[in-house]
Amino acid sequence: ASLDERTRALVDRREAVLSPGYRLFYAHPVEFVRGSGTKLYTRDGDEYLDVYNNVPSVGHAHPRVTAAIAEQSALLNTHTRYLHEGLIDYAELLLGSFPAALDTLTLVCTGSEANDLALRVATHATGHRGVIVTENAYHGVTTEIAAISPSLGGADSLADWVRPVRPPVGDGTAMLRDARAAIAELQAAGHGVAALIVDTAFASDGFIPPSPGTRAALVAVQRLVHDAGGLVIADEVQPGFGRLGIGGPGSGDGAASLWGFPRHGLEPDLVTIGKPMANGQPVAGLVARRALMQAFGERVRYFNTFAGTPVAVAAARATWDVLHEDRLPEHAAVVGTELRGMLDELATRHDRLRGVRGSGLYLGVDIVDPATGDPDSPAAVNLVGALRERRILISASGRDNAALKLRPPLPFSRADAERFITEFDAALSELG
Ligand code: PMP
């Protein structure tokens, strides 16, 4: 589609001043001026259904969150070196959702910073440097964390102290075998093992739901890492805060948790959180065992200017309150299961759809070549663009860039799910 004059002009101005590293979505870019709940609106008032954005987890422009930010901004905004009860209240509440051993919070501003700090703590605590990651993981943008994120550029971009392993698919034995080899290699190279880090939804590795096999494998890998003197970091930046649904079917005894790690049988030493934490304000954190942070704190002065300010905490607290009062994790389990059912039904009618999977409102589905069953990235990209024209926001990801990733704001309703399915059905039919 040729671009209208305003869009063309904005794209040109953007290209002239912004880093090319910032990618713009869509051949036909879209400009939003307003959001509400699960909807975004253009200047002309066109309404788009958001099936993409997990950060505004309690809904775009939630009035409780915006009011909390406005009220606190009008009163006071400083740093964490003065006493502020709001921060302490929030830390107590948040830590109450973790196993008792994970009892210490450090606030930061981004998921990348949280992972960077986790890794720094792990290298201090263990005296080792080596890191084990899953083979298509993404953990963030700092130099250190880009070097442990294979999805950014394949194995070539990884630091020499990083070893990628296959994710826990199937019976999980491939991961266990790879981890054993990785540990031996890191030890032989003199790096030792500082940490295993896993995204507990394994989103960029293709969404791997827990099963008895994957649980056994992850628990065994965790034991190998601990035996090698390393620590386990659970990256909950995307799956955390109830996105996987509470009380949903098939997620095991960890299903009562806001977090992904218990579903996999993991007992992490460090947990990183972020994205949905404050509904869009830059608030993230590291939750860890006290002894680790004690030892780190004795050697390192850690001050993060914008982290844990009264305004940041007000946004996080209001988000937490809405999440719980509106029972959004329970809602995610119910609507997520309905949406999965609708996708399963769609897959019976469209042989381009395979492998509907995920939990709560964090779902993935593969787009394949119907003739070969192979991942079909051009078709997935085409569908994302076709859905944009149908005013549905979604993205493609995964190692082959052929998996559609569904992770809407948590108030996503059954009616929203039906609207999405109607448009997806039509776009699939058009694609043929
Ligand atoms: N970990 C995971 C699993 C993520 O998905 C992301 C962001 N996509 C990050 C870490 C990095 O978070 P941020 O962009 O806030 O730095």
State the SS3 of 214-228: HHHHHHHHHHHHHHC
Residues 92, 200: one domain?
A: yes
**pLDDT of res. 207:** 86
Q: Whose CA is nearest to atom 1 of ligand 1?
A: 139
With bands split at pLDDT 50, 70 and 90, how would you rate the model's confidence at 2? confident
3-state secondary structure of 353: strand
CATH number of the domain residue 424 falls in: 3.90.1150.10
End-of-domain residue from the set 269, 292, 325 = 325
**pLDDT of res. 5:** 95
**pLDDT of res. 388:** 98
The 10s digit of each residue's pLDDT in 391-408 is 999 999 888 889 999 999
**pLDDT of res. 432:** 80
3-state secondary structure of 395: strand
Residue 3 lies inside a defined structural domain of this protein: no
Residue 253 has pLDDT above 70, yes or no: no
Residues 98, 52: one domain?
A: no
Hey, which bits of 156-273 come out as E strands? 162-165, 193-199, 231-235, 270-273
Residue 360 has pLDDT above 60, yes or no: yes
The 10s digit of each residue's pLDDT in 255-291 is 789 999 999 999 999 999 999 999 999 999 999 999 9
Residues 43, 76: one domain?
A: no
Alpha helices in 127-211, H assignment, sequence order: 143-146, 173-188
Residue 401 lies inside a defined structural domain of this protein: yes
Residues 289, 141: one domain?
A: yes
Best probe residue, ligand 1, of 23, 110, 112, 306 (max atoms within 8 Å of C-beta): 112
End-of-domain residue from the set 280, 308, 325 = 325
Residue 303 lies inside a defined structural domain of this protein: yes
Q: Whose CA is nearest to atom 2 of ligand 1?
A: 139
Residue 380 lies inside a defined structural domain of this protein: yes
Residue 75 lies inside a defined structural domain of this protein: yes
Interatomic CA distance for residues 278 and 281, integer angstroms: 5
Domain tally, the chain: 2
Q: Under a CB-based contact definition with an 8 Å cutoff, are residues 122 and 153 in contact?
A: no
CATH number of the domain residue 217 falls in: 3.40.640.10
Residue 193 lies inside a defined structural domain of this protein: yes
**pLDDT of res. 206:** 84
The 10s digit of each residue's pLDDT in 193-230 is 999 999 999 998 888 888 888 899 999 999 999 999 99
Interatomic CA distance for residues 52 and 244, integer angstroms: 15
Interatomic CA distance for residues 34 and 36, integer angstroms: 7
Residue 13 lies inside a defined structural domain of this protein: no
Interatomic CA distance for residues 207 and 169, integer angstroms: 10
Residues 340, 292: one domain?
A: no
Percentage of the chain exceeding pLDDT 70: 97
Residue 51 lies inside a defined structural domain of this protein: yes
Q: Which atom of ligand 1 is nearest to the CA of 282?
A: 15
Distance between Cα 370 and ligand 1 center (Å):
33
Residues with CB under 6 A from ligand 1: 110-112, 115, 138-141, 199, 235, 237-238, 274-275, 284
Distance between Cα 136 and ligand 1 center (Å):
14
**pLDDT of res. 171:** 87
Residues 404, 351: one domain?
A: yes
Instruction: Supply the range of the domain harboring residue 272.
Output: 63-325
End-of-domain residue from the set 272, 304, 325 = 325
Residue 155 has pLDDT above 70, yes or no: no
